[in-house]
């Protein structure tokens, strides 16, 4: 009887669960929308009800007696204050919520090293300081930590990836002393372990709730972004993943960490490697500004990717770029516009591909590896003409992503933890 592990992705709008065998094959998956369980997405009980529903739906599809491990990923920077029993004391501050208190942001700016991911109004540390000033919590956890805690009964463990934006030092693998200098009570911080570490067995209550064996382990997870990368199957230094969504996001596995705050680049530790990347303001939102999806599909059929337009576009909606150029005053470059809509679309696709190419070159110039391969995710990855244009410019092998489900990436961490615990 083949053993299974389960990855759980608590995303921005729903919860997904994937059952995977030791060979990486997916045996079942289920998903539910958060909106079906409450209108307040900052209410942690909504997250949990959705997680319960996703797991119970999955376990109706696969044999739950075969499950050996579970792992959870959550949205990066979402923070929740809890009491000693793990009960929430307030609504969460979500990944995109900004802390407006200037004193908090100034304290972080004064003490955090320039390369720390704790800078900024949406950082986990800024939210911890805000909660600390409002409440008397026993602990302040990341979203994924709390869901895992509901499975184990332990509310004192996080992983190195989720902890990064709260100030964790992934190089020294510890909470640095400077965090205390900001005024933060470091006793509120959870212990931190590498992703893929078995942290405990499911509690008796969770085992009964989901019909699981008592020896099933819960494994430290990661952020949703890191989980999405792992899901693709990229695993070697130089392997990269391009996300072609509303924006353009690039990630590459490196031998050493990259930190370049000017470009919004910091690094997550993934096994023995580091995951670094950057995000441009270009992407699908620029295309959607000019054409609906149906028109893009139609026009793409008229494009010959082997005949470049020769137009040098830098497609942006408005002024300003983050990466690979850090310039708040950079203006869009979308002229001249051909009379033929297909040529105009092609020029924009070529421009975005040029930004992608420049982005990977920038990562290499900052100390990253030479690009070895690319896997693509997001809506744009399904456009074969755009893929051909990108392949001409990047000149490396393009591999199909094994999965675009973040939960599948988290399941790979669950496999690692199950092996560690001797359950596979």
* 39 in any annotated domain: yes
**Same domain as 246, residue 201:** no
Residue 61 shares a structural domain with residue 141: yes
One domain, residues 185 and 276: no
What tokens appear for 341 in the block? 């809509």
Cβ–Cβ < 8 Å for 317, 331: no
- pLDDT score recorded for residue 12: 87
Q: What's the CA gap between 73 and 227, in Å, rounded?
A: 7
271 lies in the same domain as 318: yes
Say yes or no: 62 and 170 in one domain.
Answer: yes
Residue with tokens 């372990």: 193
Structural domain contains residue 244: yes
Helix axes 124-134, 102-111, angle to 10 degrees: 130
Together in a domain, 325 and 293: yes
Q: Is residue 150 part of a domain?
A: yes
User: 384-394 and 293-300 are packed helices; what angle lies between their axes, rounded to 10 degrees?
Assistant: 70
Residue 167 inside a domain? The answer is: yes
Q: Are residues 321 and 176 in the same domain?
A: no
Instruction: Based on the fold, state whether residues 263 and 353 are members of the same structural domain.
Output: yes
Q: Are residues 267 and 179 in the same domain?
A: no
Query: Looking at residue 1, what is its pLDDT?
Result: 77
- Per the domain annotation, does 231 fall within a domain? no
CATH code for position 71: 3.30.420.40
Residue 241 lies in a domain: yes
Q: Are strands 191-193 and 398-399 parallel, antiparallel or unpaired?
A: unpaired
Same domain, 213 and 259: no
Rg of the chain, C-alpha, whole Å: 22
Counted domains in the chain: 2
Centroid of chain to Cα 203? 27
The pLDDT tens digits along the chain (424 residues) read: 799 999 999 998 999 999 999 999 999 999 999 999 988 989 999 999 999 999 999 999 999 999 999 999 999 999 999 999 999 999 999 999 999 999 999 999 999 999 999 999 999 999 999 999 999 999 999 999 999 999 999 999 999 999 999 999 999 999 999 999 999 999 999 999 999 999 999 999 999 999 999 999 999 999 999 999 999 999 999 999 999 999 999 999 999 999 999 999 999 999 999 999 999 999 999 999 999 999 999 999 999 999 999 999 999 999 999 999 999 999 999 999 999 999 999 999 999 999 999 999 999 999 999 999 999 999 999 999 999 999 999 999 999 999 999 999 999 999 999 999 999 9
Q: Which domain holds residue 74?
A: 4-226+406-420
Residues 183 and 314 in one domain: no
Does residue 22 lie within any of the structural domains?
yes
Residues whose CB falls within 8 Å of the CB of residue 190, separated by 6 or more in sequence, listed in order: 139, 141, 142, 145, 155, 156, 157, 158, 163
What pTM was estimated for this model as a whole?
0.94
Separation of alpha carbons 7 and 148, rounded Å: 11
| Residue 201 to residue 344: CA distance in whole angstroms | 56
Residues 277 and 340 in one domain: yes
Task: Classify residue 391: in a domain, yes or no.
Answer: yes
């Amino acid at each position: 009887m083949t053993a299974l592990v389960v990855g759980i992705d608590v995303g921005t709008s729903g919860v997904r669960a994937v059952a995977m065998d030791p060979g990486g094959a997916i045996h079942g998956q289920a998903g539910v929308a958060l909106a079906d369980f409450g209108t307040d997405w900052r209410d942690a009980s909504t997250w949990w009800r959705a997680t319960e529903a996703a797991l119970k739906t999955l376990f109706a599809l696969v044999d739950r007696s075969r499950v050996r491990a579970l792992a959870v990923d959550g949205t990066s920077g979402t923070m929740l204050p809890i009491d000693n029993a793990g009960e929430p004391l307030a609504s969460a501050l979500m990944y995109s919520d900004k802390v407006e208190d200037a004193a908090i942001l100034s304290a972080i700016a004064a003490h955090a090293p320039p390369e720390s991911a704790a800078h900024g109004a949406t950082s986990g540390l800024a939210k911890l300081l805000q909660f600390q000033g409002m409440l008397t919590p026993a602990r302040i956890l990341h979203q994924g930590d709390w869901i895992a805690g509901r499975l184990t009964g332990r509310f004192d463990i996080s992983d190195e990836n989720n902890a990064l934006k709260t100030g964790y030092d992934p190089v020294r693998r510890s909470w640095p002393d400077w965090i205390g200098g900001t005024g933060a009570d470091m006793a509120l911080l959870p212990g931190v372990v590498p992703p893929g570490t078995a942290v405990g067995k499911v509690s008796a209550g969770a085992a009964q709730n989901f019909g699981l064996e008592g020896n099933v382990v819960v494994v430290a997870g990661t952020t949703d972004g890191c989980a999405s990368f792992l899901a693709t199957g990229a695993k070697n230094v130089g392997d990269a993943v391009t996300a072609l969504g509303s924006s353009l996001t690039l990630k590459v596995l490196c031998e050493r960490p990259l930190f370049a705050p000017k470009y919004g680049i910091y690094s997550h530790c993934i096994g023995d490697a580091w995951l670094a990347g950057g995000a441009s303001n270009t992407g699908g939102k620029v295309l959607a500004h000019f054409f609906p999806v149906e028109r893009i599909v139609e026009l793409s059929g008229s494009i010959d990717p082997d005949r470049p337009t020769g137009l040098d576009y830098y497609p942006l909606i408005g002024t300003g770029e983050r990466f690979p150029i850090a310039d708040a005053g950079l203006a869009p470059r979308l002229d001249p516009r051909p009379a033929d809509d297909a040529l105009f679309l092609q020029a924009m696709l070529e421009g975005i591909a040029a930004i992608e190419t420049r982005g990977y070159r920038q990562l290499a110039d900052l100390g990253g590896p030479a690009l070895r391969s690319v896997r693509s995710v997001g809506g744009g990855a399904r456009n074969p003409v755009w893929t051909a244009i990108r392949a001409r410019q990047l000149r490396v092998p393009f591999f199909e992503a094994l999965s675009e489900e973040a939960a599948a990436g988290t399941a790979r961490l669950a496999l690692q933890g199950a092996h560690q615990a001797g359950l596979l």
